[in-house]
Amino acid sequence: MPRNVNVFTDLVLETGREKLPFLSERYESYNIEDPDEILQARKLATVCFTNLGKISNDEVNQDGILIEDKLLSKSEFFGVFDNKSADRDILATARLIWRPDTTIDEMRLPMEHVNEPYKTMFEQYRPGGIAEIGSLAKASGAPTFTTLKLLRGMWRFAAENNIDKFVCGLEPKVFPHYKKLFGSSLHELTDGTIEFPGINGQQKPLMIDVFHGMDDVEKDHEQSALDKLQRFVVGSYITQDLSK
């Protein structure tokens, strides 16, 4: 994720654009259902993860997607598209590993490493109440706020489908930035980093409360006034559609 100040500045500008119809039509974020757009999303994620060394070139076919995508049938794809570009470019993408009857053992989170009380909570959680965020990627040169616009679409999907927990693996170097933005809604599931199936390198396993904590800034006394303001604006933007 980009640095907080850049995200904050671009997000303020995008919020203003969304209020003006002739500008708000440019960037569009939604749950992708069209097969061609899903293919675009998968290609973007594959390019980004290959460039980062998170997947190997020999795992990718000639079409630019994974040869074996074991979770494809259980994935909901999301994208941010630029409607003003010549080819309606996809700028950011992610997937939620989720179906209405999905349980934690069908996701990639290595449960043997998860600390209590989270492990017991996950094992006893109702089917469909947890989704895993995966394949989050942003095109090179895309505006910084597109990641947050993408997350907003996933939060909206969670509200519509009774999902109240997200789990994910995060690059350790970007964890401090996410912690500043998500605050008490972000939970560390292990004491350190672990490997996730299908991803090269170490990841920090996390849980995010979908409906709690993002705007609860006053409890985080260690954050500066600027961090609290940024977090409030970001949290308000991502959860903006939940009450609609």
DSSP labels, 134-202 = EEEEE-TT--TTHHHHHHHHHHHHHHHTT--EEEEEE-GGGHHHHHHHHGGGEEE-SSS-BPPTT--S-
Q: Determine the pLDDT at residue 41.
A: 97
Q: Spell out, as residue ranges, where the chain has pLDDT lower than 70.
A: 1-25, 213-223, 242-244
Tens digits of residue pLDDT in 162-212: 999 999 999 999 998 888 778 888 999 999 999 999 999 999 999 999 987
Q: Determine the pLDDT at residue 103.
A: 96
Q: pTM of this prediction?
A: 0.86
The label of the residue with tokens 């509200």 reads 159
The label of the residue with tokens 């259902």 reads 33
How many other C-beta atoms are found inside a 10 Å radius of the C-beta of residue 139?
A: 17
How many other C-beta atoms are found inside a 10 Å radius of the C-beta of residue 33?
A: 9
Please tell me the distance from the alpha carbon of residue 43 to that of residue 110, in angstroms, as a whole number.
26
Amino acid at 155: W
Return the CATH fold of 4-238: Aminopeptidase (3.40.630)
Q: Determine the pLDDT at residue 244.
A: 46
Q: Determine the pLDDT at residue 1.
A: 41
Q: Determine the pLDDT at residue 17.
A: 63
Q: Determine the pLDDT at residue 118.
A: 97
